[in-house]
Structure 1
Amino acid sequence: MTTDAAASAVLLAVTGRRSYSKVTGEAPTRTELLTLVTAAARGADHGALRPWRLLELRGDARERLGAAFVAASACEGVEAIKLAGKPLRAPLLIALITSRHASFKVADWEQDAAAAGVAHLLTLLLADAGWGAMWRTGPLVRTAPVRELHALADGEELLGWLYVGGVPDDCKPGVRLSIDAEEFLGVL
């Protein structure tokens, strides 16, 4: 059984979670990121397969992702320039990749869920460390140029990217509507 203080800290972290669509130019170092990834790996993982991997995209890698976006789309001119600039909205992007393993016990969807769990835990850990993050996806995630850029193997799928940076000083608190838990928690 956990203490009330520990449970309260986790509850506060989860209820205080928000996405940051705009971040500053600061980002966690690789060393800081490794610590957070190690902690995020503690998430539920049926069969202990670790069916995921992450890629850091900094500097020129973000520009190459923008070029892959343009190559994967039918955009030209101003629209292509806008699309190419999307990965430049944060100094660090973390590609979230589900890397499925052949298993008769753990279905693909369970492996995808484990990968998504690691990604979500990582967003909570980044927030706790003082960083802003937003999980972004979109129609280009599963296109050939984007797959090639990320060197995805057979059995791997890109789940999107965490856009990570500093939290702006003028950032307004995120608003997330509360739910009526009775509507979502049934009894069998």
Structure 2
Amino acid sequence: MPMRRPEVTEFLLTRRSCPAKLLHGPAPEREAVMRMLTAAMRVPDHGKLAPWRFLVLEGTALAGFAARVRARAAETGQDADKGALAFEQAPMAVAVVASPQPSEKIPVIEQTLSVGAAALSLVNAALAEGWGASWLTGWPAYDRGLVEAALGLGPEEWIAGFVYIGHCDAPPPERPRPEPESRVRWLGA
């Protein structure tokens, strides 16, 4: 008989991300962030390649990145507020970097799925620790010039998303969820 963890199931059934615009400081302390990142790395990782890494932006680094996003928006005609506000409002952002590793056995798609699992695990770890968190991308994640210059990404790397973490005083707004019956098809017996 499996060992049930009803509190974990209830957490997963009721979890809600907190919009970045509702997050405020202070940011979690380094020890708490390392605990969350350690949890985030406990994901399926075929071949033990660790095809992800994390860049924690806080304080002056976060403000500096927001300024670079605004400057890049002016250069490229992107929406500066849409790109920079989350970095200006949240007390911390973690760039989840996809860093695929050369492998004859593990295809890039499996590594990519591991990166996505790490990003969601980071959000869930933050929520489980009592913080507000959300996973977003936006145009800054896809601007090669910006992420290479400002975050030091290599040519094979890319941003899977930014996980914003902070205090969230109000319960996050609920959003419509699909009915499970509409997304599940049983095959077999």
Which residue matches 2:55? 55
- Give the alignment of 1:64-83 within 5 angstroms: 64-74=64-74, 80=80, 83=83
Sort the Cα spacing of 1:138 and 1:85 in 2 relative to 1 into closer, same or farther, 3 A.
closer
Sort the Cα spacing of 1:108 and 1:14 in 2 relative to 1 into closer, same or farther, 3 A.
same
Q: Which amino acid aligns with 2:11?
A: A
Structure 2 unaligned spans of 5+: none
Which residue matches 2:182? 183
Report how many residues are paired. 182
Distance 1:180 1:85 in 2: 33
Matched residue SS, 2:110: helix
Q: Quote the offset at 1:82 in angstroms.
A: 7.4
- Give the alignment of 1:152-163 within 5 angstroms: 152-163=153-164
Matched residue SS, 2:142: coil
Which residue matches 1:174? 173
Q: Quote the offset at 1:146 in angstroms.
A: 2.7
Distance 2:59 2:69 in 1: 16
Q: Which amino acid aligns with 2:35?
A: T
Which whole-Å deviations, capped at 9, do the CAs of 1:78-117 have from their partners, x for residues lacking one?
Answer: x747754441111111111010001122111211110110
Distance 1:52 1:31 in 2: 20
Which whole-Å deviations, capped at 9, do the CAs of 1:16-63 have from their partners, x for residues lacking one?
Answer: 211112112122111111112112211111211110000110111112
Which residue matches 1:131? 131
Q: Which amino acid aligns with 2:127?
A: A
Distance 1:90 1:70 in 2: 16
Structure 1 unaligned spans of 5+: none
Which residue matches 2:165? 164
TM-score normalized with structure 1 length: 0.87
RMSD between superposed Cα atoms in Å: 2.1
TM-score normalized with structure 2 length: 0.86
Sort the Cα spacing of 1:12 and 1:159 in 2 relative to 1 into closer, same or farther, 3 A.
same
Q: Which runs of 4+ in 1 moved over 6 A?
A: none
Identity of aligned residues (%): 31
Distance 1:86 1:173 in 2: 16
Distance 1:75 1:12 in 2: 47
Worse-superposed segment, 97-106 or 142-151:
142-151
